[in-house]
Amino acid sequence: MAELSKDKFVIEGKRTSDAESIVRPSLTYWADAWRRLKTNKMAITAMVILIIVTLFAIFAPILSEFDYRTGDLLEVNRQPDAEHWFGTDELGRDLYVRVWEGTRISLFIGIVTAMLNFTIGVLYGGISGYVGGNIDNIMMRIVEILFSIPYLLWVIMLTTVMGSGLFTIIVALSIAGWGGMARLVRGQILQIKEMEFVMAAKTLGADAGRIITKHLIPNTIGVIIISVTFAIPTAIFAEAFLSFIGLGIKVPYASLGSLSKDGTRMLLVHPYQLVFPSIVISLIMLSFQIFGDGLRDALDPRLRQ
Amino acid sequence: MSEKNLKDRKNLIEVKNLKKHFKVGRNQILKAVDGISFNIREGETLGLVGESGCGKSTTGRTLIRLYEATDGDVIFDGMNIHKLNRKEMKNFAKQVQMIFQDPYASLNPRMTVGDIIGEGMDIHNIRKGKERTAKIYELLETVGLNREHASRFPHEFSGGQRQRIGIARALSIEPKFIVCDEPISALDVSIQAQVVNLLEDLQEKMGLTYLFIAHDLSMVKHISDRIAVMYLGAIMEITTSKHLYEEPLHPYTQALLSAIPIPDPDIERSRNRIILEGDVPSPINPPEGCKFQKRCKYAKDICREKAPELREVKPDHFVACHLVK
User: Environment class of residue A272 by beta-carbon count within 10 Å: exposed (0-12), middle (13-18) or buried (19+)?
Assistant: middle
Three-state DSSP class for B235? Answer: strand
Nearest by CB to residue B94, choosing from A24, A202, A205, is A205
**What one-character DSSP code corresponds to residue B262?**
P
Q: Rounded to whole angstroms, how far apart are CA atoms B312 and B319? A: 7
- Amino acid A14: pLDDT: 66
Give the gap in angstroms from C-alpha A195 to the nearest C-alpha of chain B: 6
- Amino acid A33: pLDDT: 85
Cβ-defined contact of A21 to B151 (cutoff 8 Å): no
Is the pLDDT confidence value at A44 over 60? yes
Cβ-defined contact of B106 to A202 (cutoff 8 Å): no
Give the gap in angstroms from C-alpha A215 to the nearest C-alpha of chain B: 7
Cβ-defined contact of A203 to B111 (cutoff 8 Å): no
User: Environment class of residue B321 by beta-carbon count within 10 Å: exposed (0-12), middle (13-18) or buried (19+)?
Assistant: buried
- Which fold does the domain B11-95+175-319 belong to in CATH? Rossmann fold (3.40.50)
- Amino acid A19: pLDDT: 62
- Amino acid B219: pLDDT: 84
Three-state DSSP class for B298? Answer: coil
Cβ-defined contact of A219 to B110 (cutoff 8 Å): yes
Cβ-defined contact of A218 to B108 (cutoff 8 Å): yes
- Amino acid A138: pLDDT: 94
Prior bond of A150 cis (ω within 30°): no
> What residues of chain A lie within 8 A of the CB of B157, using their CB?
22
Cβ-defined contact of B119 to A218 (cutoff 8 Å): no
Q: Name the nearest CA neighbour of A79 among A67, A71, A89.
A: A89
Average pLDDT (A24-30) is: 74
Give the gap in angstroms from C-alpha B152 to the nearest C-alpha of chain A: 6
> What residues of chain B lie within 8 A of the CB of A20, using their CB?
144-146, 149, 161
Cβ-defined contact of B90 to A205 (cutoff 8 Å): yes
Read off the pLDDT of residues B123-181 as tens digits, 9 standing for 90 and up.
998 888 899 999 999 999 988 888 888 988 888 888 889 999 999 999 999 999 999 99
- Amino acid B180: pLDDT: 94
- Amino acid B1: pLDDT: 43
Give the gap in angstroms from C-alpha A77 to the nearest C-alpha of chain B: 57
Q: Rounded to whole angstroms, how far apart are CA atoms B173 and B122? A: 10
| Domains in chain B: boundaries | 11-95+175-319
B235 forms bridges with which residues in the sheet? Answer: B230
Is the pLDDT confidence value at A260 over 70? yes
Q: Rounded to whole angstroms, how far apart are CA atoms B298 and B281? A: 18
Sign of CA dihedral B115, B120, B125, B130: negative
CB contact at 8 A, A192 and A217: no
> What residues of chain A lie within 8 A of the CB of B105, using their CB?
195-197
Give the gap in angstroms from C-alpha A29 to the nearest C-alpha of chain B: 7
Phi-psi group of B246: left, alpha or beta (phi > 0 → left; psi -120 to 50 → alpha; rest → beta): alpha
Read off the pLDDT of residues A117-160 as tens digits, 9 standing for 90 and up.
999 999 999 999 999 889 999 999 999 998 888 888 888 888 88
What does the CA dihedral B266, B267, B268, B274 come to, rounded to 10 degrees? 150
Confidence of residue A93 (pLDDT cuts 50, 70, 90): confident
Q: Name the nearest CA neighbour of A100 among A290, A286, A291, A254.
A: A254
Return the amino acid letter for A83.
E
Q: Which residue in chain B is spatially nearest to A25 when comparing CA positions?
A: B152
Cβ-defined contact of A197 to B105 (cutoff 8 Å): yes
CB contact at 8 A, A151 and A173: yes
- Amino acid B2: pLDDT: 44
Confidence of residue A301 (pLDDT cuts 50, 70, 90): low
- Which residue positions in chain B have pLDDT lower than 50? 1-2
Is the pLDDT confidence value at A12 over 80? no
> What residues of chain A lie within 8 A of the CB of B124, using their CB?
205
Give the gap in angstroms from C-alpha A21 to the nearest C-alpha of chain B: 7
> What residues of chain B lie within 8 A of the CB of A214, using their CB?
108, 111, 119
Cβ-defined contact of B110 to A204 (cutoff 8 Å): no
- Amino acid B86: pLDDT: 87
Which of B26, B92, B107, B110 is the best mutation test for A, with the most CBs of A within 10 A? Answer: B110
Question: Which residues does A contribute to its contact with B (CB < 8 Å)?
Answer: 17, 20-22, 24, 26-29, 195-197, 199-206, 210, 214-215, 218-219
Cβ-defined contact of B106 to A214 (cutoff 8 Å): no
Which of A17, A192, A203 is the best mutation test for B, with the most CBs of B within 10 A? Answer: A203
Confidence of residue A73 (pLDDT cuts 50, 70, 90): confident
Task: For each of the domains in chain A, give its residue range(s) and CATH number, in order of start.
Answer: 31-64+83-303 (1.10.3720.10)
B48 forms bridges with which residues in the sheet? Answer: B213, B228
Q: Name the nearest CA neighbour of A28 among B120, B109, B129.
A: B109
Nearest by CB to residue A202, choosing from B66, B102, B161, is B66
Q: Name the nearest CA neighbour of B96 among B8, B181, B9, B2.
A: B181
